[in-house]
Structure 1
Amino acid sequence: MNEVVLAAQDEIVLADRPAGLLLAITGVAIAVLLFLIIKVRLHAFFSLLIVSLLTSLAAGVGIGDVVDVVIDGFSSTVGTVALLVGFGAVLGRLVEVTGGAQVLADRMLDKFGTRRAPLALAVASLLYAFPIFLDAGFIVMLPIIYTVARRLGGSFMLYVLPSIGAFLMMHALTPPHPGPTAAATVMGADVGLVVIVSLLVGLPTWYLAGYRLGLLLAKRYPDWPVPSLLGEPEERDESERPGFWTTVFCLLLPLVLIFFNTIFSTLEQSGAVSAENFFYQLSRLIGTTSVALLISAIVAMWLLYIRPRKDRKVGNLLEDLVDNALAPVCSIILITGAGGAFGHVLTVSGIGQTIADGLDAAGMPVILAGFLVAIAFRVAQGSATVAATTAGSIMAPAVAGMDLNPIALAAIVVAITAGSITFSHVNDSGFWLIGRFCGFDTATTFKTWTVIGTAVGFMAFGLSWVVFAIAS
């Protein structure tokens, strides 16, 4: 049996496997995983780790390297997700417990009316999702969605699914999110034009494949309850609630800090400021998503909780609040990390590259090939960011020789990012994160989150091909 050494995986020895066998191993692994979770009812954390270990062995990873591969995927995912989820959950719980979510919900309902509450939440999610990652932004928005759903009654699905569609579209298609930004960079596209094309394509996609489809899917779940993963709501009198603009400031602060980082990163890349510039270095510290959420959570502790109270025991109460916010998300973090481990195993096996090589050699239109390559990597390893970045890198040489105009090139980038959001399943950390925070079981997550993401991806691809055809 031939063996190859993957230098990028720290000298992991991987036995050579035929492409057909790799595809079969992946299919069986996913089927076994779904069987364990849905039929056997084994906890997703255990199911994902067991299948990850077995899949590593079947894919040819050396026995001595199997545990390292799984731990590497687990730790890299948890290292990012734990900070985002932890700080985001605390910020969200502060907004809910102090009555801030009630204040925002009341103002939103006053402006839009109760009948258009799902649209109001979707528009708010659309704006909030522009500069902030899907998982962090969604967790911070959840208390407002919870509050509106409890206030108006009916199915929780009616309020949360349109917002999920908004977050999915913005995360998948628009810079400064990492997937589209990286794809645009490696393909030499103008990031500003990519933003314009992504919004031109993304806004109608959001309305039809996100908002409208979300409302349609919600009708299948007329009695879905509002989950309480961020803790039970605490109704407060109007006099005890924080001010509207104080609450808005706490929610917008992470967006401002992230924009600060985005602006100076763009200036540094263009050469307008040097890498030694003080404000550029500062933006790299306080403008990263995790640190921005940390700062925002601390500011919210003071403005929303400590300052309005004169009780000397406020420190103990705040400590209890943070504990109550973090406790329910620990399981979600572990499941998400295990999903990352499974995705890493599939990446190491080479299944995504195997599919991509076949598509690249098929001689199909470049925009279609890019879309399908992104889907291949999305299905194989789970991360939309990795799928968009890798597909962009694969398609860059072909695109470079075509002498495309900037708009057509931007349309190809958007098509690739559209493919990166489709067919989310059990190796996608977002699949578990959003599903668990919404109180979905695995089957329901497939029928809602996966369906909306796939619809967003295919519609965005179709519209981007229209832009490409016109621009060409």
Structure 2
Amino acid sequence: MPLLFTAIGVILLLILIMGFKLNTFVSLVIVSFVVALLLGVPPENIVSSIESGLGGTLGHIGLIFGLGAMLGRLIADAGGSHRIAMTLINKFGKKKIQWAVVFASFIVGITLFYEVAFVLLIPIIFTIAKELNISIIKLGLPMSATLLATHSFLPPHPGATAVAAEYGANIGTVLIVGILIAIPTVVIAGIWYPRIAEKLMPGTFNRNRKIESIGEQLHFELEETPGFSISVFTAIFPVILMTIGAAVDMIQKTVGFADNGLIIFIHFIGNASTAIVISLLLAIYTMGIARKIPIKSMMNSCSSAINALGMLLLIIGGGGAFKQVLIEGGVGVYIAKLFEGSSISPILLAWTVAALLRIALGSGTVATLSTAGLVIPILSQTPDVNLVLVTLATGAGSCMASHVNDAAFWMVKEYMGMSMKETFATYSVISTITSIVGLGFIMILDLFI
């Protein structure tokens, strides 16, 4: 019944948005109330559950999302995004620009959370699409697929890191093997599938769209823009800070040395929120003060970035409210009971449980961490299983079938100006391919290592 009620909630949401054309945020809140009642959440707890889900989601990404949007807008309004875009176009050419996007997204995505990397890259992707006069979807989908794979498979992302520790897998080995799996998976899900989808749905990929979440983009002559090196350095500065923090954290866990003042400082600046704040201050200097642009003008750019994000933030928060209702309604517990006493391969079990939890609950991180508790007892019964592959299988399952209870689904939809139907046919399928193909490569590796 919990899975049936979840399905009813998803169908009702689609009817409200696509059939009655109701505002997406309002629809998510209504459905959250209805599903909570169906799942038996006490009426006096429903409002607090919705509030905690909305607040928890925005509390996790609100600061990063808001400051990341400001950082992206400062770089864009100063012409830095234009310089990066034109350099990539000239270097790779129009025919290979998707590969350039995948390469850049992979580098950025190894360290940055999905939401942070998405917000930082989208202005550059939009600028490239505008210069080439192509739909942002042609470049946005490869970017999204790459970020999804790196977020799901690779440490230091929270799900992969935490579950590797729970299973007792070596984090460094998880990172190396994860990269080997992520690269071909991204090629299939992020390059090949969008090309197939474009042939099946040419209208979706050929329309240039007005995207309110990005806001109005300025036009620049190339000689008016900042240099390529300083533009890239400013854009990836959060990546640099978080990479240093993640590297020190991994070394500390491996070697086991104690904290000291330097280590604490590195952890502090390597935190996602701190890194974005520092990077925003850097952008104010490199993109503004150093180029004699008034502070007032830069603050106007920051304000416009936040103004464009208002409804998107509410929609993402609404998705978080729906997710929280499902968790408190016992959907995850119900799925756990389905697999009690299971004797299937730990790799397949980890993937299956994570995939079901992901579909039901929406959060890849929640699915990953919840799966660990179910799989660990089985690992003790199968000592010869490869813990690295079990970790990666859990990550692969955690990106299965992104849909309306996943914040990333709404980010992709709103930032790329797609309809619900188009988002299901593109990003939901891409996430499913990433999950299944990732599992396939894991099973192949299991034959040899």
Matched, 1:262 2:246: yes
Between the aligned partners of 1:361 and 1:403, the Cα distance in structure 2 is 17
Q: In the TM superposition, what whole-angstrom CA distance separates every residue of 1:239-283 from its partner, at most 9, and x where no partner exists?
A: 3211111111101210111112212322343353313x1122213
Between the aligned partners of 2:137 and 2:412, the Cα distance in structure 1 is 13
Between the aligned partners of 2:266 and 2:361, the Cα distance in structure 1 is 31
1:443 corresponds in structure 2 to 421
Percent of residue pairs bearing the same amino acid type: 30
Matched, 1:233 2:217: yes
2:265 corresponds in structure 1 to 282
* Counterpart residue identity of residue 418, structure 1: A
2:283 corresponds in structure 1 to 300
Between the aligned partners of 2:273 and 2:231, the Cα distance in structure 1 is 20
Q: 1:361 to 1:37 in 2, by over 3 A?
A: farther
Between the aligned partners of 2:179 and 2:152, the Cα distance in structure 1 is 11
Mapping of residues 48-197 of structure 1, within 5 Å: 48-197=28-177
Is the Cα–Cα contact under 8 Å of residues 82 and 124 in structure 2 kept in the other structure? yes
Between the aligned partners of 1:231 and 1:84, the Cα distance in structure 2 is 18
Between the aligned partners of 2:105 and 2:165, the Cα distance in structure 1 is 26
Between the aligned partners of 2:262 and 2:208, the Cα distance in structure 1 is 46
Between the aligned partners of 1:239 and 1:157, the Cα distance in structure 2 is 28
Q: In the TM superposition, what whole-angstrom CA distance separates every residue of 1:409-439 from its partner, at most 9, and x where no partner exists?
A: 2111111110100111111111112221111
* Counterpart residue identity of residue 219, structure 2: E
Deviates more, 1:158-167 or 1:450-459: 158-167
Mapping of residues 199-218 of structure 1, within 5 Å: 199-218=179-198
Between the aligned partners of 1:370 and 1:414, the Cα distance in structure 2 is 9
Once the 2 structures are TM-superposed, how far is the Cα of residue 76 of structure 1 from its aligned partner? 0.5
Backbone CA RMSD of aligned residues: 1.6
Q: In the TM superposition, what whole-angstrom CA distance separates every residue of 1:186-235 from its partner, at most 9, and x where no partner exists?
A: 11111111112211211111111222112222342242214443222212
Is the Cα–Cα contact under 8 Å of residues 5 and 39 in structure 2 kept in the other structure? yes
Between the aligned partners of 2:102 and 2:286, the Cα distance in structure 1 is 27
Is the Cα–Cα contact under 8 Å of residues 260 and 283 in structure 1 kept in the other structure? yes
Once the 2 structures are TM-superposed, how far is the Cα of residue 470 of structure 1 from its aligned partner? 2.3
Matched, 1:467 2:422: no
Please identify runs of 4+ aligned residues in structure 1 that moved more than 6 A: none
Once the 2 structures are TM-superposed, how far is the Cα of residue 43 of structure 1 from its aligned partner? 0.8
Between the aligned partners of 2:207 and 2:266, the Cα distance in structure 1 is 42
Is the Cα–Cα contact under 8 Å of residues 234 and 283 in structure 2 kept in the other structure? yes
* Counterpart residue identity of residue 431, structure 1: F
Deviates more, 1:353-362 or 1:114-123: 353-362
Q: In the TM superposition, what whole-angstrom CA distance separates every residue of 1:361-414 from its partner, at most 9, and x where no partner exists?
A: 343222111111001110121111111121122101211331126xx2211111
* Counterpart residue identity of residue 248, structure 2: F
1:375 corresponds in structure 2 to 355
Q: In the TM superposition, what whole-angstrom CA distance separates every residue of 1:122-170 from its partner, at most 9, and x where no partner exists?
A: 1111111111011110111111111111111133222221111111111
Is the Cα–Cα contact under 8 Å of residues 3 and 360 in structure 2 kept in the other structure? no
Mapping of residues 337-356 of structure 1, within 5 Å: 337-356=317-336
**TM-score, normalized by length of structure 1?**
0.91
Between the aligned partners of 2:310 and 2:224, the Cα distance in structure 1 is 30
Once the 2 structures are TM-superposed, how far is the Cα of residue 358 of structure 1 from its aligned partner? 1.1
Greater relative contact order (Cα 8 A, min sep 6): structure 1 or 2? 2
Return 5+ residue gaps in structure 1 as ranges: 1-20
Aligned residues: 445
Once the 2 structures are TM-superposed, how far is the Cα of residue 171 of structure 1 from its aligned partner? 0.9
Is the Cα–Cα contact under 8 Å of residues 78 and 333 in structure 1 kept in the other structure? yes
Between the aligned partners of 2:243 and 2:308, the Cα distance in structure 1 is 30
Return 5+ residue gaps in structure 2 as ranges: none
**TM-score, normalized by length of structure 2?**
0.95
2:346 corresponds in structure 1 to 366
